[in-house]
């Protein structure tokens, strides 16, 4: 579990009130299917990721492919920040 993935799990629990224990949220879980994130939840998730990682997520990047799992969202954050330079 990377630092980014760990931070994303914190966001899901603290800000989106996902009702799973932290260690049960796997990087491969579907944010929609397994964690029940809905439209408002994705808006909140985008805001929190932008705030915590100090990045801007464009409308073009705010799409299911990038927000499907913790892993895919981690890849997006890495791309926007520059790989291996993320300090959440």
Partner 1 sequence: MSAASRMIIDSADDLRRRISDFGDAPPKYDQIFEGYSRLALQPGSAVVIFAPNSVEFLFHWLAALANGYVPCAIAPSTKASLVSALQKSLKIAAIVGPQLDPARYQAKHFARIGAFYAVVCDRTPPSYEPFDVLMLTTGTSGSQTACVHTVESLVCNASMTNRALNITAADKQLVVLPMYHSYGLITQCIGSITSGCELKIDGPPFNAPRFADLIQKERISICGITPTIARDLLRRGTVLPALRSMSIGGDRFSREDVKSLLSKPFFNELYITYGLTEAGPRVSVLPAHIAPVETYDSVGLAFSGISTRIEMPDADGVGQLLVKTPSVCRRKVGGDMVRQPFTSDGFLETGDLFTKDSVGYLRYVARRADILIVKGEKLNTRSIDRVAELHPDVECARTTARDIDSLVMRVWAKDDKILDLEEIKRLVRSSLRLHEIPDEIVQERNDVFHK
Which spans of this chain sit near partner 1 (rule: CB under 8 A)?
A: 17, 19-20, 29-30, 32-44, 46-47, 59-60, 62-64, 67
* Cβ proximity to partner 1, 32 vs 52, nearer residue: 32
* Cβ proximity to partner 1, 33 vs 54, nearer residue: 33
Among residues 34, 66, 28, the alpha carbon closest in space to that of 50 is found at: 66
- Rounded-to-integer distance, Cα 33 and Cα 69, Å: 10
Residue 66, φ and ψ in degrees, nearest 5: -85, -20
* Cβ proximity to partner 1, 36 vs 54, nearer residue: 36
């Amino acid at each position: 579990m990377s630092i980014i993935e760990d931070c994303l799990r914190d966001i899901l629990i603290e800000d989106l009130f996902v009702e799973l224990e932290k260690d049960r949220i796997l990087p491969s879980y579907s944010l929609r299917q397994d964690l029940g994130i809905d439209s408002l939840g994705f808006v909140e998730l985008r805001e929190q990721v932008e705030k915590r990682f100090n990045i801007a997520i464009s409308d073009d990047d705010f799409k299911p492919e990038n927000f499907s799992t913790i892993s895919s969202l981690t890849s997006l954050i890495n791309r926007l920040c520059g790989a291996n330079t993320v300090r959440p």
